Amino acid sequence: MLDNRSLQLWVERVSLEWFGRPFLHQATFNARLKATGGRYFTRSHHIEISPHQLEAFGADETEKIIKHELCHYHLHLMNRGYRHRDADFKELLARVGGSRYCSSLPDGAGRRVIPYRYMLICQSCGMEYKRKKRVDPARYACGRCRGKLTILTLDKDMAP
């Protein structure tokens, strides 16, 4: 696993190599980033990268995320379209080979997985509805046949 200093050097190298411009701000890992690979801050110009992406998908995918964030960085500093919807951003991203979207993390890779604990079962047609939180079956009806529902508590070993 890389530390923040190694990430800083990596981002500076990618910036010079692919954009021909220096990265003059701070790049850090942020372990709280789970739904996104990285982010760019328009006020401070700092970049944060998710270490979970590096662990799950390796250096090549992480470098594509770095290129994506550097596109935001350099375009913003040049007063050009740095947002995802802007043509300048899309064109530069394609030219440097950055990723448009990051891959979803697999279960357990930095994300807390909450198993289903309850199952509502229709008494008429047998339709099953999995739920993480307990609900009152008397307040709901089957979405398929409008039948009555009963609730079943799943064991932790049985839950997917």
For 31-75, how does the pLDDT look when each residue is reduced to its tens digit (9 = 90+)?
Answer: 999 889 999 999 999 999 999 999 999 999 999 999 999 999 999
CA-based nearest residue to 51, from 67, 39, 68, 34: 34
- Structural domain spans, the chain: 4-96, 118-153
Highest CATH level, class, for 4-96: alpha beta
Q: pTM of the predicted model, to two decimals?
A: 0.70
Check 12, 48, 61, 69 and give the catalytic one: 69
Q: What is the mean pLDDT of residues 128-144?
A: 95
Position 112 scores a pLDDT of: 62
Length of the chain, in residues: 160
Residue with tokens 């839950």: 159
48 is a catalytic site residue:
no
